[in-house]
Homo-oligomer: A and B are copies of this chain.
Amino acid sequence: MSEPMRMSDPAGLVARAAALDAADELAPLRDLFALNEGSVYLDGNSLGALPRHVPERIRDVMTRQWGEMGIRSWTEGGWWTAPERIGDRIAPLVGAGPGQIVVGDSTSVNVFKAVVAAVRLADQDRTAGGDRTAGGDRTEVLVDATTFPTDGYIARSAARMTGRRIVPLAPAELPAALGPRTAAVLVNHVDFRTGRLHDLPGITAAAHEAGALAVWDLCHSAGALPVGLDAHGVDLAVGCTYKYLNGGPGSPAFLYVAERHQARFDSPLPGWNAHADPFAMADAFEAADGAVRGRVGTPDILSMLALDAALDVWTDVRMADVRAKSLALTDFFLECVEVYAPPGRVSSLTPAAHAERGSQIALRCARAPAVMDELIVRGVVGDLRRPDVLRFGFTPLYVGFADAERAARVLGEVLAGVPGQVPAGVPGQVPPGRR
C-alpha cells in the first residue's frame, strides 16, 4: 500500500474525515440545501442555509395563494392557523407535546411576553396561596448575565413594567441565588458567544424548588440538540427559527407555554389574534384557549410559510442523531485545530465536556477581525463576535467532517500569516481539543 496521503496529511485527518463522512447517516441531507460548494458554511448558527425547495413553495404562496386566491387563503389556505400549526411542527424538535407552541413575532417580542407572563404567574401563585414561601414578595427576575443582549434589555423592560428588579448572574450562580424573592429566571440554553450548554434540567428544578418560574431562550439549541421542554418541566420558552431551523432571514420566532400554565397565561400583548373569537371584533378581550393566546397580530405569512416549508427537512430526522453528529463534528474540529493551528494562537472558549457544549466552537484569537475576514476570503464562513472571538457553527444537517477539516486547515494557514498570540486573561478558557 502506497499511502499517498501521508505527505500532505501527516495526522491522517483528511482520510479520517472522509471515513467519518462515509459512515454518516445524516450526510444525504446535505443535498436538500443550497450550498456554495466552493466554501465551508459554518454560520448556520447565525443564518441557516436555504433548503432548496423553499423558493418554489414561496412562489406558490405568492402567485397562487396571494395572487389568485387572495383573502380566501386566510381560511382555505390555512394562513390564519399557521402560527399554531407550525408551532406543532417545531414541538417535537424541542421535546414539547402539541398545543404548546405558537410561531410569530421576533425573539425579543416573545421574551417580553414570556417574562411578563412568568412574573404574573408568580403573582397568581402567591395570591392563590400556592407560594411555599408565603409572606415574601417575589420582587426579582434573575437573568443570565452572559445572555445575548436583547434578552437582558427586554427583561429589564419587563421588570420595570411589572415593578420588579433585574438581577444579572452567571448561569452557574443561579441555583444558589434563587430564593423567596425570585419571581422568574431567564436563561439561555446555549451561550451565543462561547457555545456553553447550560443545565436546563438542573436550573429549572432549582427554580421550581424556590417557587419561581423558569423561562428558557432556545435560540442556539432548537434544532441543534435535544431540549426536552416537557420532560424537564420548563414553564415558558422562546426560540429562533432562522438558525438551526433554517427558516430564512428574520423568520418568526416561537413561544412555548407549558400546558399547565395556559389557562392563566396573561399576555402583555393581547392582540386580536389572541382573542377567543377574533372575528367577532368584540370590544372586550377574552383570551383564546391554549398557546394561541400567545399570538398578537396578523402573522407575516411569507416569512412564516418559508419556515413551514423549511421544516420539511426534519422529516425522519432523530434529534439524538443530530446531537451525536454535532458532538463528533465539534470534537473533530477541535482536534484538527490542535494539529493545524500554530501553538498558542487560539484558545477554545467552548467547554470540552460534551454535557456543557452546544453546537458551535468559539475560539479566542488575537486580531480576530482580520483573521475572520481572511477566512471568509478563503471560503471558510464563520463569524466574529467582537472583540476577539471566532465563532464556527456546526449544523449537522449540512456540515460534514471534510468541512471541519478544511476549516481548521485554512484557519491554520491564515494564522500562520497573521502574527499574534491568544489574548490573555479570560477565565474558564479551555485549550482546543482537550476534553
Contact = CB atoms under 8 A, between A and B. Distances in A.
A111 B49 CA distance: 34
Interface stretch (A197-205, A300-308, A314-322, A333-341): A300-308
Contacts of A154: 269-271
Q: How many copies are assembled? A: 2
Interface in A33-53: 34, 36, 41, 43, 46-47, 49-50
Given A149-B283, A283-B152, A70 B55 contact: no
Contacts of A63: 34, 50, 55
A275 B149 CA distance: 10
B70 A49 contact: yes
B381 A70 contact: yes
A334 B302 CA distance: 36
Nearest to A298: B250
B385 A34 contact: no
B46 A271 contact: no
Interface residues of A, number: 79
Contact of A252 (B107, B145, B300): B300
Question: Among the interface residues A43, A50, A62, A280, which one has the most CB atoms of the partner chain B within 10 A?
Answer: A62
B157 A272 contact: no
A145 B282 CA distance: 11
A63 B57 CA distance: 12
B168 A268 contact: no
A43 B157 CA distance: 39
Nearest to A146: B283
A302 B249 contact: yes
Contact of A297 (B106, B161, B193, B304): B106
- Most chain B CB atoms below 10 A, which of A47, A50, A250, A280: A250
Contacts of A298: 106-107, 242, 249-250
B301 A249 contact: yes
A250 to B, nearest CB: 4
A385 to B, nearest CB: 7
Interface of A: 34, 36, 41, 43, 46-47, 49-50, 54-55, 58-59, 62-63, 65-68, 70-71, 73-74, 79, 105-109, 112, 116, 145, 148-150, 152-154, 156-157, 161-162, 168, 193, 242, 248-253, 267-273, 275, 278-283, 285, 296-304, 306, 381, 383, 385-386
Given A46-B71, A106-B297, 18 more contacts: A49-B70, A50-B67, A54-B62, A58-B59, A62-B248, A108-B269, A108-B297, A109-B296, A148-B281, A153-B270, A153-B271, A154-B271, A157-B267, A168-B283, A242-B298, A249-B302, A250-B304, A303-B303
The 3 closest A-B pairs by CB, nearest first: A106-B297, A108-B271, A108-B297
